[in-house]
Each structure stands twice: as C-alpha cells, then as structure tokens.
Amino acid sequence: MFPDPSVCRVGEHYYLACSSFEYFPGVPIFHSRDLVHWEQIGNALDRPTQLHLPPTTPSSGGVYAPTLRHHDGRFHLITSNVPHAGTLVVTSTDPAGPWSDPVRLPGVPGIDPDLAWDDEGTCWCTYAGIRQVRVDLATGAALEAPRRLWSGTPGAQWPEAPHLYRVGDLWYLLIAEGGTEAGHGISVARGPAPDGPFEPCPANPILTHRSTDHPIQNTGHGDLIQAHDGSWWLVFLGTRPRGGTPGWHVLGRETFLAPVTWVDGWPVVGEVGPSMTGGLPAHPLPLPPARDDFDGADLHPQWISVRARPALTHSLKDPPGWLTLHAQDRSLDDASVTFVGRRQQHHSCRVRALVDAGAGRGGLAVRLDEQHHYEVEAGDGEVRVRIRIGPAQQLRASRPLPGGPLVLRIETQASDPSPDHPRQEPDVVRLGYETVDGRFVVLDELDGRYLSTEVAGGFTGRVLGMYATAGTVRFDWLAYDPTE
C-alpha cells in the first residue's frame, strides 16, 4: 500500500513519497541510493498541526497523491487532504523531517498537484483535470485563473497525476488516464513552454497493462527520474491480483520501477518485471527488524494509526518496553478506534504479538476499512475471532483465555498463482493464538477476498496491527515475518 509514487534526486541520493489516505502519520518518505532498495526515513505529515483527519474522513479519503521535489536547497512536498483541507505544501531541508507546517493553496482545487519551476523561478502547479496555474508557494496564492492543458487520449476517463519536466529545450507533461483500475495507463505530451501547447506522443499510452495477462496490473500514475549516471527511470503504481475471476489484490497499490530510454525525443518504458535486473550499482539498505520490542522513545515511522494518534491513546513508557494502548472506541467499526499497525507487504506472512489484555480488550487485526476487517482478540477471560464484512458482523470462535499474557497470531497464505477454479480465493487468513510451547492454535481460517479492494472498494490495502476496544491493552512486542 505505497501508491502514487513521486521521486526526486539530490546528488546520488533518491527520495520517494507515497499516498497515505486516512492513516496518520501521512505521506511516508523513503531514501535510496539505487532506486531499488528503499528505507523509510520518516513521514512528511507527522503532527496534528500538519494533518487533521477528523472522524468524518471516509476510508480512502484523506491524503492523496503527493509530489516531492527539490528546489533551491529545499524539499517541497505538495498534496491534497480530501475532502477537508484541500491542497497544501510543506517544506524541509531534511527529507527525514521535521517538515514545516502547511501552506494552503485555495486556488488549486483539484487532486494530484505537481510542482515545476522554470528558468525565471516561476512555480507552475498542474493538477488533475488537467489544469495548471502559477502559484506563490510562500503565501499559497494563485497568480492567475487555472487554465486547461492537454488532457490525454480523447474520451479517456480520469486524466490525472500530471508531472511536468524540462528535458533539454522541451517541456514534457506526463499524465495517468483510464482510472486507477484495469484501464490504467500513462501518456505523455511535449511542448515548448510549461503551459504548452502540447503535442501528444504518437505511441501513447507509453505504459499500460490493460487486457494483458501480466502479473502486475493497473499500471499508471508515474514519475520520471534521471539517475546520477544519466540513465532514466519511471516509478509508477501497480497491483498484483491473485486468485480466480476477477482477481483480488489485497496489498493495495504498490510502487514499481522500470527503465526508460529516449527514442525520437519521446520516453519509452522498458520491461516491467517482478524483480529488478541491471540498473544502478546495488546499495542495499537495512530493513526494519522483523520484531519490534517497543524499546525506543518513539514508534518507528512504519507504524500508522487510523485518522489520528492522540497522545492519551498510546504510550511507550507505561511500562517501558511495552506499547500500551488505551481504548477510545468500542470496535474496529468505529472511525476513531485505538489502532497501531503496519502495511501488509507480502502475500504470505506471519504476525505475532505478546499481548496482556488483563485490564481491557484488544488484540491483532487485519484491517481494510471500518466495514472490512478480521481480528483475534483477548479480554474478559476469552480469546475470540471476530469479523466484519460489509453489513455482516460475526463472532466466529471463542475459547477460555489462558492465564497471563498471550501470544496472538495471524497468518496469511497466498493461493497458487494458477487458479484451480474460477472463484479461487487470493489467500487464506488464519487467526489464533500460541500455546506456551509455540504451537499455533488456529481458531478460524477465512477467505482473504473479503479484505480486498475488489470487494471493499476504495484505494487502500491491508494493514496489520494492534488495537484496544476496552480499557488498557499492552503489547510487549510484535513480529512480522514474510513466509513467501
């Protein structure tokens, strides 16, 4: 669930930003030396003064597609908070943060805003539609009325995700079109000035996987980058659906990378594959430890909460070495549930956490939104599995709770990539707990399709995490292990 990627380069260092929707903190920021290995170094919107997502923010609302750029020694990030706060810009000299409080841009009413500067220092903001306006980033004021630009293939829906680049003597306008589902694609045009007029590429769309059997689908919403060795690359979003018909993607929309060459003055996108071959010299970066013991002063930036994370709902000091959650809503159906989770990043994975629910009720959950989630929880003398699928809610299993802290466990197991039948599930989700000798007691096994975008709708993927729905619940550690 790292969609809508935007990338920039400073020397031999690369920085990437992605959408975060209803989760707080917002806009994860990554660093790389080779465009392949990435490390999350922070979140651009990590304070309530920067990001306000009230309970009325719908799931898949909130923070939409950012653009990340480096100009005059500062990083600039522009994005939209839908539907409440509109377009905003934050800046920083360090992409790891802290980032400034936002400047609002009321003259930019759309989503997917982009920033580009010409040789005179004028800032051009282009946004979904495709429309463009010159802006003053210091005040947020628009310097003119928005104008329409080239908007892609005639008749194609949702021209969006514009990015404007100066390459040589020409300006290139890259956009997404066709909607972010199966018809998604990327097209490009070029012109003599930032505001055109623009000539479309005769080979448009330059990237799409529509009507193919490629394992990566819904490809679009891209950003071009020239590497320090002169090579060109495209980051873009895609999905990896699994199972039968129509296919279900459960990890949300992800970021992919492809090489780009230039032919007759147009960018040509190379092979898109599940793994990278060639490219820049490899610079692997450390991954977060599989197990978080909550020994730090602050949570790792990978941890996200639903809409907000009020200080009174969580603590790393009560006692030290434990993540303590204090309930403020009674259910994962509620908009302000106390929840701390991380994105599911592998089709097959195992999540385990040592939970002390002696003073409350809570546990581990697989969340897509308020109406689609599975959870295994402890409290009130029992361990239980509950599910919510649309309007249906069900207590699936319960057992007397063993005394003392308990290891709760969730496993996802991907189904075979070649479906045995047209309705084969994308994966199965097993929920239960561990005995003192480490044996996994499976309380329930569920079809994973009901926690997918194709069932639930929206723009997000699964988040695996810890929650409290009554009293106080403490977590000594959580371990996330890929099992693919």
Q: b/e per residue, 13-38, with b = 16+ CB within 10 A?
A: ebbbbbbbbbbbbbbbbbbbbbbbbb
CB atoms within 10 A of CB 450: 22
User: What integer is the mean pLDDT of 15-26?
Assistant: 98
Options 22, 112, 114, 160, the catalytic residue = 160
Which residues fall within 8 angstroms of residue 277, CB to CB, at 6 or more apart?
none
Per-residue pLDDT reduced to its tens digit, 412-466: 999 987 777 899 999 999 999 999 999 999 999 999 999 999 999 999 999 999 9
4 an active-site residue?
yes
Options 4, 356, 377, 425, the catalytic residue = 4
pLDDT value of position 40: 97
CB atoms within 10 A of CB 320: 10
Residue 357 has pLDDT above 90, yes or no: yes
Q: Kindly indicate the confidence band of residue 286, based on its pLDDT and cuts at 50, 70 and 90.
A: confident
Per-residue pLDDT reduced to its tens digit, 220-238: 999 999 999 999 999 999 9
Q: Is the pTM of this model over 0.95?
A: yes
Residue 406 has pLDDT above 90, yes or no: yes
Residue 295 has pLDDT above 80, yes or no: yes
pLDDT value of position 277: 76
User: What integer is the mean pLDDT of 131-152?
Assistant: 97
pLDDT value of position 275: 84
Q: What integer best gives the mean pLDDT of the chain?
A: 96
Per-residue pLDDT reduced to its tens digit, 40-83: 999 999 999 999 999 999 999 999 999 999 999 999 999 999 99
In terms of DSSP H, where are the helices of 195-278? Answer: none
Collapsing DSSP to helix, strand or coil, 449 comes out as helix
Q: In order of start, what are the domains of the chain with their CATH numbers?
A: 5-269 (2.115.10.20), 291-482 (2.60.120.200)
Which residues fall within 8 angstroms of residue 283, CB to CB, at 6 or more apart?
32, 33, 34, 37
Per-residue pLDDT reduced to its tens digit, 149-159: 999 999 999 99
Q: Kindly indicate the confidence band of residue 274, based on its pLDDT and cuts at 50, 70 and 90.
A: confident
CA distances in angstroms from 181 to 18, 193, 221, 248, 457, listed in the order given: 18, 32, 11, 12, 11
181 an active-site residue?
no
User: What integer is the mean pLDDT of 104-132?
Assistant: 97
pLDDT value of position 273: 85
